[in-house]
Structure 1
Amino acid sequence: MNGRDRNPSSVIWKDPRMPASPSTARAINDRLALRLLQDEGPLTAGQLKTLTGLSRPTVADLVERLQGSGLVHVVGESGAERRGPNARLYALVADRAHLAALDVRTHGVCLVVADLLGQTLAEATLPVEPDAGTGPAVEQVVALLERTAKEAGAERLHSVAVGAPGLIDPASGELRDTSGLPAWHRELVRVLAQRLPAAVLVENETNLAAVAEQRLGAARGQDTFVLMWLGQGIGAAVVLDGEVRRGASGGAGEIGFMPVPGTSGLPSATGCDGGFHELAHAGAVARLAAEYGRPGGAEEAVRDADGPFLDALAERLAIGAASVVAVLDPGLIVLGGELGHAGGQLLASRVRRALSALTPLATEVRPSALGDGAVLSGALLTARDAAQDELFGPKA
């Protein structure tokens, strides 16, 4: 096969025009072995040889190197193999780096501290009152993170990933100043970067949910899909060829602003009233539910819905989905956010049926598999990837 072999047991990208130097080959092989130890758990040298296709001496050398670097250690022996070097079980050193992930919402934050394997060591939540003030709100969150890290035995955090509503500037990587969102969101990221001896990353919450759904949930194994976030706000994450696409200004996926039929007018540069948001956000869904005799909150109404109400809601959601499909042809739409998850397969199947009447492009529709935890899971994956990119060396 020319170019990059996608078989995970392959070792090196073979390009006869640019052969890898010995040092580059070692780094690539080391990283491959580390990824296998990450994904497959403790392995013997013999198992690493089989999975990588490397020679026995090469595997022995890389295991010795990785042990010397403090990334790998012996955790036991495999009873299925003869005693000796090949019977030793090697694993990643989980406490080689500690990570933190934060899901920042309008009125609070959830966070988790984990090890290099992504195993949760401690977690916490904190409500933030609307009138708390920017400085006090930031101090509350930072203190919570520091306290939780200490409880987890993480004296020093390596990478911290923050998921927040709003746009991320693709040039600076910073959370942009967005009207309607608390000022403490932007200030929190700045203070974390100043106070912590860690790499601090920030990403839009919907994009992080898509990362989690792709790696662990409803879009697992899919290189191209769109996650539609249905909640108090409306948005989308666009994943094309395995990469989250943010757009020239960081605004890819702002589907709440899409002009669609059935609204009171047109959206504007300063507000999404008149756009798809007007049809699909939680308040609109609650009002639609009330029309069908289902008073109460939107999430409750969607979770316990009957046929006529779900059909009406599905038709609304299909209008926005059809515009997305016409432009991107993603093949898969995941319904995320609290409403997408609450609706489950009953809502997803109805949206798929309504969507098929609006577009000739075959599109599967699935509910989120991770629900409200998708943002935090995506943030933790992002923090882990950042730590591993630094510790594991060059990618193949």
Structure 2
Amino acid sequence: MTVNEGPRALPQTVLRAATDRRLLDETIRQGRTTRAELADVTGYSRPTVSEAVRRLVEGGLLDATGLKETGRRGRIGTFYELGARAGWVLALELDQSGVRARAADLAGRTLDEHRRPAGAPGDVAALVANVRAAVGAFPDGPGPLRAVGISIANPVHPVTHEVVPLAGTPFPEGLISPREMIGDLVPAPILVDNDVNLAALAEHRAGRAAGEASFAYVYVGAGLGVGLSIGDQLIRGAHGLAGEIGYLPGAAAPTLAGDLAAGGLGRSDAPSNDVAAALELLDRADESALRVLAAAVARAIVSVAAVADPALVLLGGPVGTHPALLPRVRAAISFPGPTRVEHGTLGTEAALHGALHLALDHALAAAVAV
């Protein structure tokens, strides 16, 4: 006879790592705190907090930075802050506009930034050189480099984390593996994801989608894409191709991307939208450009709404964030259900913010697991 033993208890190492992570996150959130304050906020016992703080200090993740008078006879608390040598992370964004890189400490505070211009469309060697130059421009940070998060303007396989090659990609030079580009330069894990997914992640963590259980992030720039979050989970698909809305059927062309090209918004030297030209047309409220863009974006939003019915749709990307586009898209949407469409709050840096979140999540989890 089989006896149901019930759920097994989590291993002590897992519980200890979870406790340490909670206390580290809370210290980062507060900036400066004591063990007593940590116990009050988290509900952990004072002995548990004291032991966890001891581990975090020994690991260099927290520093004791001064004394706090408690107001009670003989009682003096010790303040703790993020360790001065706790480590740092690096975020990179690779797309048609060039390479952007940002270094931050484990609290997410920016330490330094570098940008490299774009090479010619399809020039793989120029992209690799620019990425390596951007990474090499950072001096040693405060402690070990713990993770590198990379946003790339191509789909990324959710299992292998390799870039997925697609015919007609707007970023053909970005089909090379980022690990091959810089694996010899950084002594840290290299984490890669699609730029639209990372922009959606950032808007969910610290932007307009914060607190939304379901939303869609529609990117309009050199390419078209959707980041879809359902039940607080990004939907990547079996092959990393979920959200590749540029390949949806178009109204006047085989694809939605083809509609934009046929409407005069495509580049002549690359299979992508001409961002500079689109922005110029929007700046002067060109009626033809507005009509073409609004129709394409509205078609994408209706497709997503009909399948997933998100509570919120955000427009992002260098073209999607233009103020002239939003009211035209709202007017062009024909869907029976309520569809709330807004601009994202993180602007054109949403994907870089997302890459930073990706790196920080990994760095903090790994730091308390050792």
**1:74 correspondence with 2:50:** no
Offset at residue 114 of structure 1 (A): 1.5
Contact 1:46 1:86 in 2 (8 A): no
Match of 1:8 in 2: none
Match of 1:177 in 2: 165
Aligned match for 2:252, one of 263, 268, 278: 263
Further displaced range: 187-196 or 101-110: 187-196
% of aligned pairs identical? 33
* Structure 2 CA distance for aligned equivalents of residues 256 and 23 of structure 1: 46
* C-alpha spacing 1:297/1:137, structure 2 compared with 1 (3 Å): closer
Letter in 2 for 1:162: I
* C-alpha spacing 1:84/1:129, structure 2 compared with 1 (3 Å): farther
* C-alpha spacing 1:284/1:41, structure 2 compared with 1 (3 Å): farther
Q: Could you say what secondary structure the match of 2:242 adopts?
A: coil
* C-alpha spacing 1:122/1:82, structure 2 compared with 1 (3 Å): farther
Aligned match for 2:278, one of 298, 316, 326: 298
* C-alpha spacing 1:134/1:212, structure 2 compared with 1 (3 Å): same
Residue deviations 1:252-294, cap 9 Å, x none?
001111124x323xxxxxxxxx32223457965699xxxxxxx
Aligned match for 1:192, one of 182, 186, 199: 182
Contact 1:227 1:236 in 2 (8 A): yes
Further displaced range: 56-65 or 310-319: 310-319
* Structure 2 CA distance for aligned equivalents of residues 282 and 26 of structure 1: 58
Aligned match for 2:305, one of 305, 309, 325: 325
**1:126 correspondence with 2:116:** yes
Offset at residue 142 of structure 1 (A): 1.0
TM-score (norm 2): 0.84
**1:252 correspondence with 2:225:** no
Offset at residue 247 of structure 1 (A): 0.5
* C-alpha spacing 1:23/1:380, structure 2 compared with 1 (3 Å): closer
Gaps (5+ residues) in structure 1? 1-15, 265-273, 288-295
Q: Could you say what secondary structure the match of 1:170 adopts?
A: coil
* C-alpha spacing 1:184/1:20, structure 2 compared with 1 (3 Å): closer
Offset at residue 354 of structure 1 (A): 3.9
The 5 Å alignment of 1:367-378 reads 367-378=343-354
Contact 2:214 2:311 in 1 (8 A): yes
Residue deviations 1:151-170, cap 9 Å, x none?
x5467522111111111122
Gaps (5+ residues) in structure 2? 1-5, 268-275
Residue deviations 1:95-126, cap 9 Å, x none?
32221111112252111111111111111111
Q: Could you say what secondary structure the match of 1:95 adopts?
A: coil
Match of 2:210 in 1: 220
* Structure 2 CA distance for aligned equivalents of residues 74 and 105 of structure 1: 42
* Structure 2 CA distance for aligned equivalents of residues 360 and 132 of structure 1: 42
Letter in 1 for 2:111: L
Further displaced range: 127-136 or 183-192: 127-136
The 5 Å alignment of 1:1-396 reads 17-20=7-10, 22-78=12-68, 87-93=77-83, 95-130=85-120, 134-135=124-125, 137-147=127-137, 149-150=138-139, 153=141, 156-179=144-167, 180=169, 181-183=171-173, 186-260=176-250, 262-264=251-253, 274-279=254-259, 284=264, 297-303=277-283, 305=285, 313-343=293-323, 347-355=325-333, 358-393=334-369
Q: CA RMSD in A?
A: 3.2
Offset at residue 94 of structure 1 (A): 5.0
Letter in 2 for 1:65: R
